[in-house]
Amino acid sequence: MVRFRSTYEHNIDSKGRLAIPAKMRAAGDLGPGSELIAAVFLDNCIKLFPVGEWEKLEDDLLSLDSSDPAVREATRKVIGSSQELELDGQARVVLSKALLDYANLSASSLALVVGVGSHMEVWNPETYQASGGSRSNEDLFGLVMSNRKASPAPLSVNLSYGPSAS
């Protein structure tokens, strides 16, 4: 199973390109020609998934009851906002303007690349700072631990996009 960790500062160049940190390339077995899926939902950051991980999530979405307009809307938003990105010869991806806008990023700016287990997240440093302002580390960790006790079962995926957001 794929496990991305750590945080890196990387520049987005004038063409909107972002180099995948070498450690993450190693962790995800990514090289020139590999594909990543970029998606924007929940949190103001760009989420980068290996194709396999992303397809699991897509499968879940596509198996829902599509007679429900809200399900169709969610599917459309999540899958419709995703993009396939191919790594160039220098292991970089091009982030489209739409993606950058969503995360308050732009070409020729600094970004944080955060490893979050199954995927990576690309943040505007200021947005990242601000998003964590409301809760202390202790609070957050306490929440995670109590969840673990309450439902020992399948916390794997849920934590990644989980209900804790609500």
Partner DNA sequence: GTGCCGGTGGGGAAAAGTGGGGAAGGTGAA
Partner DNA sequence: TTCACCTTCCCCACTTTTCCCCACCGGCAC
* Partner from a copy of itself, DNA, none binding residue 6, C-beta < 5-8 Å depending on class: a copy of itself
* Partner from a copy of itself, DNA, none binding residue 15, C-beta < 5-8 Å depending on class: DNA
- 117 and 28 Cβ atoms separated by less than 8 Å: no
* Partner from a copy of itself, DNA, none binding residue 11, C-beta < 5-8 Å depending on class: DNA
Q: Which is nearer to a copy of itself, 52 or 108 (CB)?
A: 52
- At closest approach, how far in Å is the CB of 86 from a copy of itself? 10
Q: Which is nearer to DNA, 10 or 77 (CB)?
A: 10
- At closest approach, how far in Å is the CB of 90 from a copy of itself? 22
Report the interhelical angle of 69-80 vs 51-62 (nearest 10°).
160
- At closest approach, how far in Å is the CB of 161 from a copy of itself? 6
| H runs (alpha helix) in 36-113 | 51-62, 69-80, 97-102
Chain contacts with a copy of itself (rule: CB under 8 A): 3-7, 23, 37, 41-43, 55, 58, 60-84, 98, 114-118, 121, 131-132, 135, 137-138, 140-148, 151, 154-155, 158-166
Distances (CA, A) of 1 to 50, 106, 115, 119: 11, 32, 14, 11
* Burial of 98 per CB tally in 10 Å (0-12, 13-18, 19+): exposed
Secondary structure of residue 95 in the 3-state scheme? coil
Chain contacts with DNA (rule: CB under 7 A): 8-11, 13-15, 19-23, 86, 88-92, 94, 96, 108
Using the 8-state DSSP alphabet, how is residue 66 labeled? T
The CB density around residue 137, as the number of other CB atoms within 10 Å, is 8
- At closest approach, how far in Å is the CB of 77 from a copy of itself? 6
